[in-house]
Structure 1
């Protein structure tokens, strides 16, 4: 049997809020919601989803993972504005202004990039 990716797991203090944020960003759905696990994905039959699980400890180091998102040509600025309206915020990580991406942080401070 070959292993295959099933979920990307994100630890968080507020599972429902972060799951709903990412579902809205990606235009996905909540597929499963339990006290200690919320799973989102494009649909129930999708091979990969994102699973949000509780993290009792406080984050003390830089994220080792971030999500890089992309848009159709010419839609970048509008999509950034849509995601900011969902609760994301711009993040300053030492950019020079010449980057081809925009760094945003989700409402729970995990970073992702355009």
Structure 2
């Protein structure tokens, strides 16, 4: 049985704005868009993608699933995401973690992991 991870879905109050924010932040492209959702991918033919769909319910708790990114330079990536409008968030970190927790403009948490190992 073959199984391909096609995409992950992220609910958003404004999926078009959030999808465009993530496309800019990741350097990805918009591959599909309609009145209720937007899909982005690294390149049009590369999977998986992220689909942002409408959900009018406000976010009230920490995400049960989130994205992790491992950059070449953690400090530079954290600064870049912050300059794009991400915010630092506290979700119970002890301060000894090797990752930084941020949230996108709609409050969805994601992590910038320590820089790549040699």
Tell me the TM-score normalised to structure 2 length: 0.88
Q: Secondary structure at the match of 1:71?
A: coil
Query: Does residue 1:76 correspond to 2:74, yes or no?
Result: yes
Alignment-derived partner of residue 49 in structure 1: 49
Following TM superposition, the consecutive aligned residue runs of length 4 or more in structure 1 with deviations greater than 4 angstroms are none
**How far apart are the structure 2 equivalents of 1:95 and 1:60?**
19
Q: For 1:1-114, list aligned pairs within 5 A.
A: 1-72=1-72, 75-114=73-112
Across the aligned residues of Structure 1 and Structure 2, the Cα RMSD in angstroms comes to 1.3
Provide closer, same or farther for how the CA distance between residues 94 and 60 of structure 1 changes in structure 2, counting only shifts above 3 A: closer
Shift of 1:62: 3.0
Shift of 1:93: 1.7
**How far apart are the structure 1 equivalents of 2:93 and 2:30?**
34
> What are structure 1's unaligned runs of at least 5 residues?
none
Which deviates the most, 54-63 or 29-38? 54-63
**How far apart are the structure 2 equivalents of 1:19 and 1:7?**
13
**How far apart are the structure 1 equivalents of 2:77 and 2:60?**
30
> What are structure 2's unaligned runs of at least 5 residues?
113-118
